[in-house]
């Protein structure tokens, strides 16, 4: 087992990604080391946002990986592995789970998990990466300024043992990471593609050029989203070039 062979628990940290980065500076933690925190004081989200999580209620963790078998332009494969692992985990507890490009997991139209992956590159190879994730498990009340949050507790009206769920996630993620190591890229791509949020559904987006409507048709090797525009044009958009117009 790679993922979760070493699990480090901290009751309170600034950020699990920051702690993982400090560990990488000080020594060489084994691949698959998971840092799991009961509370994050300054949890990180994408686009410089904070990840807000009530102490002791949810899963907030980071995984240290050394995917030096990947080229730097293949780094989004790590995001795909983490995404489909969380998807498979949550599918055991609820239906209507999907992957919202580029880094969220949704239940219907509400956000149940988020992912932040930080990479260290050496030449055209990935030296190491820190895959951080937050999964809403038992939290029932969220701050009013957080848009559309949801948790397993809200969905099922039941509290869960976060340690058991983390162990299950590690088992699932270990399987998918080994698939990546073994070169099963198409299998991973298919699983990711088939579970994309609003796949082939007419959807509103905002780009630098203004609003548009179109259908998501997939995500390419580089992590760019593919959209067929309502007017018949086709577009390829990278992270920060487009967002959903909710």
Task: Please list the pLDDT of the chain residue by residue as tens digits (246 residues).
Answer: 999 999 999 999 999 999 999 999 988 899 999 999 999 987 655 545 566 789 999 999 999 999 999 999 999 999 999 999 999 999 999 999 999 999 999 999 999 999 999 999 999 999 999 999 999 999 999 999 888 999 999 999 999 999 999 999 999 999 999 999 999 999 999 999 999 999 999 999 999 999 999 999 999 989 999 999 999 999 999 999 999 997
Tell me how far the alpha carbon of residue 57 is from its chain's centroid. Answer: 19
Closest by CA to 216, choosing from 231, 232, 202, 195, is 202
Could you give the CA distance from residue 115 to residue 59 in angstroms, rounded to a whole number?
12
Structural domains of the chain sorted by starting position, each given as residue range(s) with its CATH number in brackets:
7-194 (3.30.930.10), 202-244 (2.30.30.100)
The dihedral region occupied by 170, where left means phi > 0, alpha psi between -120 and 50, and beta the remainder, is alpha
* pLDDT of the residue at 70: 96
Predicted pLDDT at 76: 97
Q: Which sign does the torsion angle of CA 34, 37, 38, 42 carry?
A: negative
Contact residues for 227 (Cβ-Cβ < 8 A; gap 6+): 205, 212, 214, 215, 216, 217, 234, 235, 236, 237, 242
Number of residues in the chain: 246
pTM, 2 dp:
0.95
Q: How high is the pLDDT of residue 50?
A: 63
Q: What order do you get walking across the sheet with 7-13 strand by strand?
A: 7-13, 34-40, 59-65, 125-135, 110-122, 104-107, 97-100
Q: Which of 188, 158, 194 is nearest to 176 (CA)?
A: 188
């Amino acid at each position: 087992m790679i993922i979760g062979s070493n699990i480090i628990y901290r009751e309170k940290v600034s950020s699990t990604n920051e702690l993982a980065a400090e560990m990488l500076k000080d020594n060489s933690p084994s691949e698959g080391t998971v840092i799991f925190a009961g509370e994050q004081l300054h949890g990180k989200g994408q686009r410089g946002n904070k990840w807000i999580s009530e102490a002791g209620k949810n899963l907030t963790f980071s995984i240290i990986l050394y995917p030096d078998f990947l080229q730097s332009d293949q780094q989004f494969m790590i995001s795909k592995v983490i995404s489909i692992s969380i998807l498979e985990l949550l599918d055991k507890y609820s239906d209507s789970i999907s992957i919202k490009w580029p880094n969220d997991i949704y239940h219907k139209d509400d956000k149940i998990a988020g992912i932040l992956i930080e990479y260290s590159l050496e030449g055209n190879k990935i030296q190491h990466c820190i895959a951080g994730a937050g999964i809403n498990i038992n939290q029932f009340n969220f701050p009013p300024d957080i848009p559309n949050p949801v948790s397993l507790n809200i969905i099922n009206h039941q509290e869960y043992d976060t340690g058991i769920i983390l162990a299950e996630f590690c088992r699932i993620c270990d399987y998918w990471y080994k698939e990546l190591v073994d070169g099963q890229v198409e299998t991973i791509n298919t699983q990711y593609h088939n579970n994309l949020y609003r796949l082939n559904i007419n959807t509103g987006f905002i780009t630098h050029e203004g609003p548009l409507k179109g259908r998501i048709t997939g995500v390419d090797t580089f992590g760019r989203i593919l959209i067929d525009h309502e007017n018949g044009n086709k577009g390829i958009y990278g992270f920060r070039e487009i967002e959903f117009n909710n």
